[in-house]
Structure 1
């Protein structure tokens, strides 16, 4: 990333450099995003091919013998067993997804940091070096979620505001090796007066994600509807839909992480003369500020 000069950037420049960095290092960022999420895709495929597909409701004109069989206790027991199994697998899948997402996001932030400072890094090295931060990232995700939920309870708008003020907490955790509460405080300090930029970055990510999901999943959703009475075809179209969602996530997720990482560095250039720190060789040193604790949303 030697071609990027260190100076305060406009939002347009941050986004332009986000896509330039992503394009020039596509294999690196897509690889980081893909490897952990392959575990999630594998779990989804197990669900699709080894769980009993749901049966469609019996139409009013169905033969009496079919209606009577589906009304028996055996059919109800099988349905309840399937629901409990689906719930259990869903919980396990959510845990796997969260762990994969945290690992992927942390590794992407680390890769952006290395490229930003003119170094090189590989997919395996990024994932390996960020493993020690996964617990801090998990606590950070939990606290951030609770803070945003509390904000949404207060008439929705505060929830968006808190999310925007915490936009660079993940880069602060990974790059400065801060714990969760210190990273949240650090993010609040850096994003003061810049929450609007964070909101627009989030908005762009949502638009890109749902556009990609619509493009890569919608045809298979139509296939699901057409094959609703054929369990084998239901499995086939469901598998394709899951693969489409996987591809959308792998392709789009790096955008938000790269953008927030560049946003983090831009804020440091603006508020802490980070460009001078690099010139003096102090770029690798964690910022000594941050008093710890979660500040007020009005700070």
Structure 2
């Protein structure tokens, strides 16, 4: 437990229930009396009103919750709108609403979001440029692999900072509040070391399982085994670990938001992610994969014109197939593609981070009715909020010191 109402994990030891909330696409319940009211014979209706006692919705062939002609809705009819103090409505979200919430966060809080992501993108591309200038295509076919491996530690470290800072920004945006880069840093700094350990653990978990699966085949090859049937069987064994790694990745994909917002430890955050994803693995997988694909499309759309410009200006040579030779890039082309990477990273990094946080919030709304706590935290009077904002202790993104 933490002292951050709104984001604190539930104190009950009961497992979360999927039926506690209706699905996102389910029609909302309609408030109103249990039986339709009888028409009063001595009360004249408006001009053109039906005289046969039928309600407006039936007379005009409308569904519950829709407005009759003229734009007037009879009293007590229709579902109340969900509160939306920030970038998302406080109810179970559809996939489109998750994407819209991520884009709206970047648009509304662009000063903080883009300044953070721009700084991280510049550091990331500076590391890539340094590696490219050190390698300069001297390693031949293994140049691309060496670039990837050399840049992984820096990318991992920057991913920790991006996750920590942008999680704070998105959590405030859900409540309709803004946060500066300095405030996000002060709130995220106490959790950075734990988030680094969590990121290392989750990043190595999937590849470690795959390497373990292919270890028998590698050992058999090094031992000089010549049986094609056994080699194929060991290869199949290794391939079967790929779905296991994917399953683990999605199972623990919500651990980082849980660690940052609930102020929990690494193992507790992993357990929270496991419980939140349970029963919704395919949905979380679809949202996560589609968000990464959208970010990849944006990155490619930004990078292609820069690469074509570099080829036209003679910054990059072409290989035998007429394609850009990425293994041997000049300094000018490396710098040009670094600019493209900075632009792409500035927009894609906050989008992916925002989607991850919103998926975490959506799962908690569906399982733990977090929307009620968030409405109170946002100060909505109809949900028990004071309407005047919270103090430092009630801020859902800062812990009591």
Normalised by the size of structure 1, how large is the TM-score? 0.73
Name which of 154, 158, 161 aligns with 1:103: 161
* 2:355 counterpart of 1:259: yes
2:136 alignment partner, SS class: coil
What is the CA deviation profile of residues 12-63 of structure 1, one whole-angstrom value per residue up to 9, with x for unaligned ones? 22222222222222332222212133222233344456x4734799xxxxxx
Matched, 1:6 2:98: no
Considering fraction of residues, name the structure with more helix: 1
Q: Is the 8 A contact 2:288 2:356 kept in 1?
A: no
Counterparts of 1:79-158 in structure 2, within 5 Å, are: 91=150, 93-150=151-208, 152=210, 153=213, 154-158=240-244
Query: 1:53 maps to which residue?
Result: 136
Structure 1 range deviating more: 178-187 or 275-284: 275-284
Contact 1:205 1:256 in 2 (8 A): yes
C-alpha change, 1:236 and 1:267, in structure 2 (3 Å) is same
| Partner SS for 1:156 | helix
- Give the counterpart of 2:260 among 174, 180, 188: 174
1:206 pairs, out of 292, 316, 329, with: 292
Q: Distance in 1 between matches of 2:135 and 2:98?
A: 47
Post-superposition offset of 1:220: 4.5
CA contact (8 A) 1:171 1:261 kept: yes
Instruction: Kindly report which structure 2 residues correspond to 1:15-94, keeping only aligned pairs within 5 A, or say none.
Output: 15-48=99-132, 51=134, 53-54=136-137, 91=150, 93-94=151-152
Change (3 A) 1:233 1:143: closer
Structure 1 pair 225/151, CA: closer, same or farther in 2 (3 Å)?
A: same
Higher deviation after alignment, 6-15 or 219-228: 219-228
How much has 1:87 moved relative to structure 2?
6.6
Q: Distance in 2 between matches of 1:244 and 1:160?
A: 30
Asked if 1:275 corresponds to 2:371, the answer is yes
Paired residue total:
256
Aligned-residue RMSD, C-alpha: 3.3
Deviations 1:181-218 (A, max 9, x none): 11111001111111122212222233223223322333
- Give distance in 2, aligned partners of 1:276 and 1:198: 22
Matched residue of 2:185: which SS? Answer: helix
- Matched residue, 1:159: 245
Does the Cα contact within 8 Å between 2:172 and 2:397 map onto a contact in 1?
Answer: no
Structure 1's unaligned 5+ residue stretches are: 58-82, 287-299
- Quote how far apart the aligned CAs of 1:103 are: 0.5
8 Å Cα contact 1:114-1:120 kept in structure 2: yes
Contact kept, 8 Å, 2:162 with 2:349, in 1: the verdict is no
Deviation of 1:243 after TM superposition, in Å, equals 2.0
For the residues of structure 2 that align with 1:6 and 1:140, how far apart are their CA atoms?
A: 29
Could you say which structure has the larger radius of gyration?
2
Q: 1:145: how far off?
A: 2.2
Between 1:258-267 and 1:272-281, the stretch displaced more is: 272-281
Report Cα offsets for 1:241-267 as digits up to 9, x if no partner.
122122212211211211111111111
Question: SS at the partner of 1:106?
Answer: helix
* C-alpha distance 160-48 of structure 1, shift in aligned 2 (>3 A): closer
Q: Is the 8 A contact 1:151 1:157 kept in 2?
A: no
TM-score by length of 2: 0.56
CA distance in 2, matches of 1:283, 1:194: 29
